[in-house]
Amino acid sequence: MLMDATTFSVEFKVFDEQIKAEIPLSAEPIRSIELLPILQQLSDSFVEFSIKKINQDGKSITCKSGCAACCRQLVRITESESYLLYELIETMPKKRRNAIWQRFDDAIEILEELGLIEPLEDINDMSSEENQDLDEKYFNLKIPCPFLEKETCSIYHNRPLACREYLVTSSADNCSNPFQETIERVPLAGGISVVAAQIDEPLHSGYVRYVPLILAPILAEESPDESQVRIASEMLTVMFERLRTTAI
C-alpha cells in the first residue's frame, strides 16, 4: 500500500484487444528513477501478454538459460536506468562492486583503443544507419555486459527494460549474428523500453535521450541525478500517449 497513493487509470489497445489498467502510484511528486519499478512491472506484463499471443500462433520463446548472445549487444537504456545501475553497483558489497567496476573499466579500455567512445556518446545524434553500423562493430567485439556472470544476468530483477524485452522465437544459434534476417524477435504488445525514454524528454528540452549500458554507470557517476521531482501520473500520461502510437 502506497502512502499518499493515487490510482492511474489507463485504457489502450494492443493486438486488437482493449486493455484497461489501474496502476497504484504515489500522489507525491517523485524523480523518474522512482517510477522504474512500475515501468519494470508494465514491461513484464506486456512481455507476458506478447508471449501468450505468440504461443497461440504455435510459436515459443527459444531464449534459454546459458545463452547470453544478446548480452554482448550494444544495449540502450534510459537515463533514469543509468542512475539505477550506478546505485545498484554502489550498494553492492565491496568485493563484488570492485569486480563490476573493473569489468566496466576493461570494456572501456577496449572501446577507447578502437575510438568507439565518442560514437557511443553520440548515439542520440547519429542516423539509424550510423547506429546500426555501431551496433555491428560493438557486437563483433563480443564484450560481455559487465553484469553477465556464468552467462547469466547477475542483476536479473533489476535488469534494464531493453533486456526484459529482447526475446526471440528463432533458433538460439542464429543469435550469434543478430543482424541477419533469420532473427525473429517477439513482436511486443508495448515496448516500454522505447517509450520510457519519453518520460525524461522534458528534462532535455524535448530531446529523447538513450544511454549505452556500457557507459551508463560511469556517466551517472560523472553527472549526478539532478532531475526535478514530478507528478508520477503526468509522467505516465506522456509515456502512454506515445505508447498508443507505437503499440501493435
Binding site for ligand SF4 (CB under 6 A): 71, 75, 145, 147-148, 153, 155, 159-160, 163
Question: Measured from the CB atom, is 11 or 106 closer to ligand SF4?
Answer: 106
Q: Residue 169: which region, alpha, beta or left (left: phi > 0; alpha: psi -120 to 50)? A: alpha
Q: Least CB distance from residue 103 to ligand SF4, whole Å?
A: 10
Phi and psi at residue 214, to the nearest 5°: -65, -20
CA distance 123 to 164: 21
Question: Closest distance between ligand SF4 and the C-beta of residue 66, in Å?
Answer: 12
Query: In the bound complex, what is the minimum distance in angstroms from residue 194's beta carbon to ligand SF4?
Result: 16
Q: How far is the CB of 195 from ligand SF4 (least distance, A)?
A: 19
Cβ neighbours around 163 below 10 Å, total:
22
Q: φ, ψ for residue 16 (rounded to 5)?
A: 65, 15
- Contact of 108 with 221, CB cutoff 8 Å: no
Alpha-carbon span 184 to 58, nearest angstrom: 14
Between CA 164 and CA 87 the distance in angstroms is 19
- Least separation in angstroms between residue 7's CB and ligand SF4 is 31
Q: How far is the CB of 47 from ligand SF4 (least distance, A)?
A: 13
Q: Classify 21 as helix, strand or coil.
A: strand
Q: Which is nearer to ligand SF4, 160 or 217 (CB)?
A: 160
The neighbouring-strand residues paired with 185 are 168
Nearest to ligand SF4 of 203, 219 (CB atom): 219
Q: Which is nearer to ligand SF4, 164 or 242 (CB)?
A: 164
Of 163 and 175, the one with the shorter C-beta distance to ligand SF4 is 163
| Cβ nearer to ligand SF4, comparing 77 with 236 | 77
**How far apart, in whole angstroms, are the C-alpha atoms of residue 47 and residue 106?**
33
Amino acid at 82: S
